[in-house]
Amino acid sequence: MGRNNQRNCCTSQVACCCGNASCSSPCLPPIKESTSTRLMYILYYLLGAILSAVMVTETIRESLHRAPWLVDFCENVGAGTNCSSLMGYVAVYRINYALAAFFLVMAVLTICVGSSNSIRGQIHNGFWFFKLLFLILLWVGAFFIPTPSQAVTAGLVVGFTGACLFILMQLWLLIDFASSWNHSWSRKYDGGSKCWYIGLIFFILIFYAISILITVFTIELYGKPFFACLRNTLYVCFSATACAILSVLTILPCISRNHPRASLLQASIVSAYVMYLTFSAIVIEPPMETLTEVGYNETTKTRIYNTTLVLCAPTSITSAILVDSSYGELLSAAVATILLLGMVLYACIRSTTTTFVPDEEGTANKNFWCCCHKDTNGDEVDGPHRSWGAIENEAEGTVYSYSFFHFTFLLASLYTMMTFTNWYSPENATLENLHRTWPPFWVRLVSAWVCALLYALKVIVIMCRSDPDPDEEPNRRSRRRRARHRSTPL
């Protein structure tokens, strides 16, 4: 029996690569088909992101100079001296546009797919080897496409547009996450548990403390000298004022009447993220030019000015090591990358928990035989299977929109491309040295204000809604009964 199970496991893995079966880890409990499919596409996206990082790594480029055999190979295949055409920002454009083209093809192919049993659904959930081969062919073919300056400029504009759309999607996901968190904990508090109420208060204070700390920290380190760096102080104050307005809007009586579960948790999370985006923008702000009058030209009747570059950055050695120069920029880039991947993973996990019939409790631990050679019958797992260990949970209907899922990764690919190529200054883009340029500065700063605007619009919609949320009415009556019970004299 054990040998048969092991043979079935190997057969299922081959079917996952070359057939319409879904993938599952041989050493882990069975997972749903919808989850395993999205994890595989996340791996494809991460593969493209890693290749992009390698292409703009100066260390890799320098190592090519020390490998004579590789230099000869590059010249023989027509890749230029030291494989120059395979490195740099143009190579990042090629990789990410090929990755975006892959997700575009998948998005068009999976429009209005209603079941995983359909042909297009099977292509989406299986044939992973052929899809990887198709992606590799796109990457290889992209390097044979000529790239005149007009094509690079057009690619930059298209990439910038797609990256901005992904930023808007990322901001809305953050607001949705804050709303879901608040709704979940408020509902548990309505059930009578005070621990959840204490938890709400705790995290509200934590997020507001983070917002205040970032505000003071940014003004103290990047607002001096005062008059030369007054613009930075105004940016921070504007963002902080917007956060304060959002907090006031959240606790207005009309909001509580139409949305009883509204609390400051949502506003505190949005405020912390807005202040973080403001800080990350100011960290990479280029030096400011100031003009100082030094004389007067009698011949041309014009004033003579001396241009001085003022860098608003920490002055102390300790602060400079922590937040200035490449340290602060690399820290900001690392946090931004983590947030990017976190938002993508959150979108995947959130859509996974929408609907489906789960298997019975305890069956997930019965199929470790594929790794540990445990003598267990695979049919013991309840629910239909497309492959050994993968639970087919989309036969009657899809859990998420296949087409929109691929469209999200299309935009994420363009966002990755613009991030690694320094947005509108790709010529100087390297992974080791993140240059101070205006395009990333304004993208991050405007993103902070757009995030505040999106949340404000959401609050205003609640204010303008005349009828209360019907889902909140039972909880409202329950709270009233508890209040009357506490006020009834003995």
Residue with tokens 């979940």: 184
203 three-class SS: helix
Q: Is residue 373 within 8 Å of 6, Cβ to Cβ?
A: yes
Count other C-beta atoms under 10 Å from residue 355's C-beta: 11
Q: How far apart are CA 164 and CA 451, in angstroms?
A: 12
Residue 246 pLDDT level (bands cut at 50, 70, 90): very high
Cα torsion at 181, 183, 185, 189 (round to 10°)?
A: 170
Task: Read off the pLDDT of residues 355-373 as tens digits, 9 standing for 90 and up.
Answer: 433 333 333 333 333 333 3
Burial (0-12, 13-18, 19+ Cβ within 10 Å), 383: middle
**Which two three-digit tokens encode residue 363?**
């069956």
The residue-averaged pLDDT of 437-453 equals 87
Select from 108, 100, 96, 50 the least CA-distant residue to 341: 50
For 237, which DSSP code? Answer: H
Residue 208 CA to residue 271 CA, distance in Å, equals 7
Query: Hey, is 386 helix, strand or coil?
Result: strand
φ, ψ dihedrals at 229, nearest 5°: -110, 25
At residue 389, the pLDDT reads 53
What mean pLDDT comes out for the span 140-145? 85
Residue 309 main-chain phi, psi, to 5 deg:
-95, 120
Q: How much is the average pLDDT of 295-319?
A: 65
> How large is the angle between the packed helices 33-55 and 325-352, nearest 10 degrees?
160
**Least confident window among 36-40, 57-61, 167-171:** 57-61
Mean pLDDT is lowest, of 218-222, 265-269, 303-307, for 303-307
Q: Where does the pLDDT of residue 239 fall: very low under 50, low under 70, confident under 90, or very high at 90 and above?
A: very high
Q: Residue written as tokens 């966002």?
A: 415
- 453 pLDDT band (50/70/90 cuts)? very high
Length of the chain: 490
Give me the pLDDT at residue 356, please: 35
Alpha-carbon distance of 429 to 222, in angstroms, equals: 24
- Whole-angstrom distance, CA of residue 175 vs CA of residue 169: 10
- Taking all residues of the chain, what is their mean pLDDT, rounded to a whole number? 73
Question: Cβ contacts of residue 141 below 8 Å, gap of 6+?
Answer: 98
Provide the H-helix boundaries in 427-472. Answer: 438-464
Q: Return the higher-pLDDT residue of 323 and 209.
A: 209
* Cα 158 from Cα 162, distance rounded (Å): 6
Spatial distance between the Cα atoms of 261 and 478, rounded to a whole number of angstroms: 13
pLDDT of residue 107: 93
In the structure encoding, which two tokens stand for residue 274, read together? 């807005």
